[in-house]
Amino acid sequence: MKMKKDERRQAIQKAIDLNPFMTDSALCEMFGVSIQTIRLDRTYLNIPELRKRIKLVAEQNYEQIRALEANEVIGDLIQVAPNESAQSIIEVTEESVFAKTQIARGHVLFAQANSLCVALIHKSTVLTQESSIKFIEKVKLHDTVRAEAHVTDQTTHHYFIKVNSYVKDTLVFQGTFKMFYISEDEANG
């Protein structure tokens, strides 16, 4: 049984409030309507398209970064809890893949994970000291990669961070990073 227009619109608003990164396609499946209907409903509700929603969330999160400028983060920062965890997403574009195979270049996934580690540490100077990475599944053109970074340990000058990257719910990349940082006292002294 289909919902009435007003009920559907309220449900769409609620779904996007819970998950601002929900795609129009996912909303189509959820509500059993066409993509055009979803787009009309979003327009009526003044909900921007996914790309704009991502940018709005990312802009809010960039204010919490100290070691990088916003334009130095690879991907869009969608969540950050300083010194604890962070998430970013990146869409794989034609510039990021091998022309023959349409498979993402490894350095793109590494750069996303590495910059996410730097971004989550709330210090002015953060450098990668060591990393161990593993590419698990192929990532293809137009895939959206979500990287999740979590601090696993901290010492006087290091953060240890684990990063898992996913395409939808499939794990595609894993990395552990040892990040060196300088405290504000040391930087100013």
Give the structural domain span for 38: 5-61
Task: Return the CATH number at 48.
Answer: 1.10.10.10
Residue 189 inside a domain? The answer is no
**Residues, the chain:** 189
| Sequential DSSP letters for 53-105 | HHHHHHHHHHTT-SSS-GGGSSSEEEEEETTTEEEEEEE--GGGB-TTT-BBP
E strands present in 22-124: 76-81, 85-91
pTM, two decimal places: 0.71
Q: Are 75 and 55 contained in the same domain?
A: no
Per residue of the chain (189 residues), give pLDDT as tens: 678 889 999 998 898 887 777 888 888 888 889 889 988 998 888 888 877 877 766 666 556 555 455 567 788 888 888 889 989 889 999 999 999 999 999 999 999 999 999 888 888 888 999 999 999 999 999 999 999 999 999 998 999 999 999 999 999 999 999 999 987 666 565
Structural element, H or E, at residue 144: strand 144-154
- pLDDT, residue 179, reads 95
Residues 85 and 171 grouped into a single domain:
yes
Tell me, rounded to whole angstroms, the distance of Cα 4 from its chain centroid: 34
Q: Please tell me the total count of domains within the chain.
A: 2
Q: In terms of domains, do 21 and 56 share one?
A: yes
Q: What is the pLDDT of residue 48?
A: 82
- Contact predicate 117/109, CB 8 Å: no
pLDDT reported for residue 182: 85
CB 123 within 8 A of CB 67: yes
